[in-house]
């Protein structure tokens, strides 16, 4: 079920303790997070007041000006059963604000998962080029190059899943920049945190699970397949129980590795393998959503059928749904977007409920949910046929220093 409306308003219509789990990718709040703004926000939040952010966030969207406030998470808290878990994605820049907002709503922060990926693109300000600009000097063009598989932020020509771009290679024009060659202002983004929180238990874990059907995480359903021999009950030097890796004592345990709070995509997995000389099968692996996955079930004449800017992969959301939801449970996503959580929940046999404010995303989410839940088959609902693009790649400047 997808509800079109404001999350705070629509949550108030849901019954108390009617939800088993929450898996959501809310606004990250990538707006003006200056110390003054943060101080003003926290003063209001800590006194129970509503605070309205100024400005806009990611891609100029007003809904991304700040992370969701405690009053919204209090409604999520109210509809969640005792012991119920929520997995909430956040940005590395504003994860602290997201955690504070969740804590002020009453949630216990249990852990933070990290989804590592290798395809991020640094949004860095070139210091030497900025100094050139301050003096009014034009960078010196020293050559050009053509690259493929560049991030979507600078895509000029689409070629299926590949992209092609022609770059101008430039060097600084003023002597004053000599000592600042190679300096920037940002690192390459390579992970997204996902905060694991829980509504406090009613009694012990055992009592809560038996009474409310929530309280634990489904370890066995999320174990990582491996061919390695492991044992259960072997004692390490610390005295902790070793659930994998040791080959001495105990009983052979063949259900797979214990799920970790790290998730990898293909590039991150390969990089980790090269650096550690170990197999990444010890972690759950999930690549970013490709074009086919994002747009299956959608029909449009536009170049992009799914226009949502931040589409999570369904395999990742299936894993997260499976981790915290009891059998036949109801999963809530109060920030549905293009519907990846709902598609994942349906594929896992759970009952999905989504809320989305933006009408354009609601229609996309409904079509995707119909497709992934079996309502529409891809042969009956083909994507717009891609035509080859023979346009010459446009040029952008790239400073080497």
Residue 345: the pLDDT is 95
Mean pLDDT within 93-115: 95
Mean pLDDT within 338-361: 92
Q: Which range has the worst mean pLDDT, 33-37, 214-218, 384-388?
A: 384-388
Instruction: Answer whether residue 240 shows pLDDT above 50.
Output: no
Greatest mean pLDDT among 37-41, 233-237, 372-376: 37-41
Residue 231: the pLDDT is 55
Each domain of the chain, given as residue ranges in start order, spans 2-28+67-119+190-224+259-372, 131-188, 227-258
Mean pLDDT within 103-117: 94
Instruction: Answer whether residue 93 shows pLDDT above 70.
Output: yes
For residue 306 the two structure tokens come to 């799914």
Within 162-290, residue ranges assigned H as helices are: 205-212, 266-276
Instruction: Answer whether residue 317 shows pLDDT above 90.
Output: yes
Instruction: Answer whether residue 179 shows pLDDT above 70.
Output: yes
Residue 298: the pLDDT is 80
294 vs 338, higher pLDDT: 338
Greatest mean pLDDT among 200-204, 261-265, 370-374, 392-396: 200-204
382 vs 169, higher pLDDT: 169
Instruction: Answer whether residue 340 shows pLDDT above 80.
Output: yes
**Cβ(399)–Cβ(128) below 8 Å:** yes
pLDDT in tens, 259-296: 888 887 666 666 666 666 665 556 766 667 777 777 77
Mean pLDDT within 139-158: 55
Q: Which range has the worst mean pLDDT, 12-26, 41-55, 192-206?
A: 41-55
The answer for residues whose C-beta is within 8 angstroms of residue 213's C-beta and 6 or more apart is 20, 81, 326, 329
356 vs 140, higher pLDDT: 356
Residue 354: the pLDDT is 96
Instruction: Answer whether residue 194 shows pLDDT above 50.
Output: yes
Instruction: Answer whether residue 248 shows pLDDT above 60.
Output: no
**Cβ(341)–Cβ(356) below 8 Å:** no
Instruction: Answer whether residue 87 shows pLDDT above 50.
Output: yes
- Superfamily of domain 2-28+67-119+190-224+259-372 in the CATH hierarchy: Vaccinia Virus protein VP39 (3.40.50.150)
Residue-wise burial string across 333-355, b where 16 or more C-beta atoms lie within 10 A, e elsewhere: bbbbbbbbbbbbbbbbebebbbb
Count of Cβ atoms closer than 10 Å to residue 176 Cβ: 13
CA proximity to 199, closest of 84, 28, 55: 84
| Coil/strand/helix, residue 247 | coil
| Coil/strand/helix, residue 139 | coil
pLDDT band at 254 (very low <50, low <70, confident <90, very high): low
Mean pLDDT within 76-105: 96
The answer for residues whose C-beta is within 8 angstroms of residue 47's C-beta and 6 or more apart is none
SS3 content of the chain, % helix, strand, coil (to 5): 30, 20, 45
Instruction: Answer whether residue 318 shows pLDDT above 90.
Output: yes
- pTM score above 0.85: no
Residue 303: the pLDDT is 54
- Find where tokens 């997260």 sit: 320
Per the rule left: phi > 0, alpha: psi between -120 and 50, beta: everything else, 244 is left
């Amino acid at each position: 079920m997808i509800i079109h409306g404001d999350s705070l308003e629509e949550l108030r219509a849901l019954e108390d303790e009617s939800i088993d789990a929450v898996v959501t990718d809310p606004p990250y709040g990538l707006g003006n997070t200056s110390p003054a703004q943060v101080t003003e926000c926290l003063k209001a939040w800590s006194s129970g007041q509503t605070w309205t952010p100024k400005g806009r966030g990611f891609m100029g969207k007003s809904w991304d000006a700040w992370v969701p406030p405690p009053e919204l998470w209090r409604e999520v808290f109210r509809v969640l059963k005792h012991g119920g878990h929520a997995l909430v994605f956040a940005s590395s820049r504003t994860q602290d604000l997201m955690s504070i907002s969740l804590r002020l709503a009453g949630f216990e922060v249990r852990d933070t998962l990290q989804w590592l990926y290798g395809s991020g693109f640094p949004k860095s300000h070139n210091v030497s080029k900025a100094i050139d600009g301050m003096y009014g000097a034009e960078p010196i063009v020293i050559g050009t190059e053509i690259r493929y598989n560049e991030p979507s932020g600078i895509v000029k020509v689409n070629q299926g899943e590949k992209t092609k771009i022609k770059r101008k290679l430039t060097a600084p024009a003023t002597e004053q920049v000599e000592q600042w060659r190679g300096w920037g202002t940002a690192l390459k983004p390579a992970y997204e945190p996902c905060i694991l929180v829980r509504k406090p238990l009613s009694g012990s874990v055992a009592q809560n699970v038996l009474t409310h059907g929530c309280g634990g995480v489904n370890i066995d359903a999320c174990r990582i397949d491996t061919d390695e021999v492991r044992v259960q009950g072997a004692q390490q030097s610390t005295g902790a129980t070793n659930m994998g890796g040791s080959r001495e004592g105990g009983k052979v345990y063949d259900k797979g590795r214990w799920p970790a709070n790290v998730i990898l995509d293909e590039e991150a997995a390969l990089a980790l393998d090269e650096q550690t000389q170990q197999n990444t099968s010890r972690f759950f692996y999930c690549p970013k959503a490709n074009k086919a996955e994002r747009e299956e079930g959608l029909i449009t004449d536009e170049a992009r059928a799914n226009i949502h800017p931040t589409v999570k992969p369904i395999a990742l959301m299936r894993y997260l749904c499976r981790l915290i939801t009891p059998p036949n449970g109801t999963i809530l996503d109060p920030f549905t977007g293009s519907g990846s959580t709902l598609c994942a929940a349906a594929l896992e046999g759970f009952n999905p409920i989504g809320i989305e404010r933006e009408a354009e995303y609601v229609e996309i989410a409904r079509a995707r949910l119909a497709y992934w839940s079996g309502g529409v088959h891809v042969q009956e609902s083909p994507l717009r046929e891609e035509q080859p693009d023979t346009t010459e790649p446009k040029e952008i400047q790239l400073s080497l220093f």
